[in-house]
């Protein structure tokens, strides 16, 4: 890369880097500082008191459990479905591959317009209410959010996975066919290891999207306090923001960031070890 081209990339990247630092990095650093201060007008160093208070809060533990469960089940479900559909799309003829472009539509549709249909089907006040989910409670309270998450995110995962699968050299599949490998063996032993970097990216993307379910939850339930099974970390943080409890909110944000960072780190380690096999 010559010097002139490097200067162009630098000129294009600086505004984005400055915006990211101003709106994400600096506010987070300030939040870390708040997490170690006491509340009230006179700020004092509180050590780990705020973290202890957050960890002992029953609503924080409930929100953390629900968020982890939603991410685990939601990401596993959306990636499994995306993989199955991607394998099926790869067997279509070239003339029918335009079908996969339709899968991107749910991802780009405004949530506010989609939630009207979801409330009509799953809300007890809806016109097309099918089942009395609120009578069953528990998992069925949050089931509409799982279905909405899968419906919105499976399309973008399919686009990314089919693009990665199409890059696998055909000679590899031809050699496997000569050796008598079954379709299951080809998929598990050849395709998945070769697209493991894309699988990691898709997994991280789906995981991050699962953490943004608060908007859909708020529009569907119409309240900051949804049913207990649908109470997420974003609900907890939003409620403490309204209460101006910045110390508690900051401590929860730091703990949440550590939780997300560890999850992504272990996913990366697992992907690297799977690719070496």
- Given a contact cutoff of 8 angstroms between Cβ atoms, the answer to whether 144 and 213 are in contact is no
Whole-number pLDDT of residue 77: 93
Most confident range (mean pLDDT) of 2-6, 74-78, 255-259 is 74-78
Look at residue 133 and tell me if it is in a domain: yes
Whole-number pLDDT of residue 240: 82
Domain that holds residue 268: 58-276
Look at residue 32 and tell me if it is in a domain: no
| CATH number of the domain to which 272 belongs | 1.10.3720.10
Whole-number pLDDT of residue 127: 44
d(CA 161, CA 78): 12
> Which residues, in sequence order, are CB contacts of 21 under 8 Å at separation 6+?
none
Look at residue 125 and tell me if it is in a domain: yes
- 246, 250, 252, 257: CA torsion to nearest 10: 150
Backbone angles phi, psi at 24, to 5 degrees: -125, -55
Look at residue 163 and tell me if it is in a domain: yes
- Does residue 250 register a pLDDT over 50? yes
Look at residue 196 and tell me if it is in a domain: yes
Look at residue 115 and tell me if it is in a domain: yes
Alpha-helical runs (H) found in 179-232 = 183-186, 192-194, 196-210, 214-221
Number of domains in the chain: 1
Residues 43, 48, 49, 52: is their CA dihedral positive or negative?
A: positive
Most confident range (mean pLDDT) of 20-24, 31-35, 229-233 is 229-233
At residue 275, the 3 state secondary structure works out as: helix
- Does residue 66 register a pLDDT over 50? yes
Look at residue 29 and tell me if it is in a domain: no
Look at residue 120 and tell me if it is in a domain: yes
Tracing tokens 């097309």 back to the chain, one arrives at 128
For 149-202, the pLDDT digits (tens) are 998 899 888 888 888 888 888 888 778 778 777 777 877 788 888 888 888 889
- Does residue 113 register a pLDDT over 50? yes
């Amino acid at each position: 890369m010559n010097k002139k081209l490097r200067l162009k990339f630098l000129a294009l990247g600086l505004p984005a880097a400055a915006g990211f630092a101003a709106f994400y990095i600096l506010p987070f650093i300030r939040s870390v500082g708040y997490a170690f201060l006491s509340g009230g007008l006179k700020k004092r160093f509180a050590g780990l008191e705020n973290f202890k208070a957050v960890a002992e809060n029953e609503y924080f533990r409930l929100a953390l459990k629900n968020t982890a469960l939603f991410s685990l089940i939601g990401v596993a479900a959306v990636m499994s479905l995306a993989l199955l559909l991607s394998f099926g799309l790869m067997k279509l003829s070239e003339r029918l591959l335009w079908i996969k472009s339709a899968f991107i539509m749910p991802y780009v549709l405004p949530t506010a317009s989609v939630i009207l249909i979801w409330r009509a089907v799953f809300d007890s006040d809806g016109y097309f209410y099918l089942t009395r989910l609120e009578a069953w409670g528990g998992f069925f309270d949050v089931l509409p959010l799982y279905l909405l998450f899968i419906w919105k995110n499976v399309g973008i995962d399919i686009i990314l996975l089919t693009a990665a699968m199409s890059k696998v050299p055909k000679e590899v599949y031809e050699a496997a066919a000569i050796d008598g490998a079954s379709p299951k063996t080809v998929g598990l032993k050849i395709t998945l290891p070769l697209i493991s970097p894309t699988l990691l990216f898709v997994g991280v993307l789906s995981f991050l999207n699962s953490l943004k379910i608060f908007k859909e939850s708020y529009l569907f339930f119409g309240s900051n306090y949804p049913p207990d099974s649908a109470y997420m970390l974003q609900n907890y943080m939003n409620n403490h923001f309204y209460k101006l409890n910045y110390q508690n909110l900051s401590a929860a944000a730091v703990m949440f960031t550590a939780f997300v960072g560890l999850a992504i780190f272990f996913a990366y380690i697992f992907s690297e070890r799977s690719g070496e096999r």
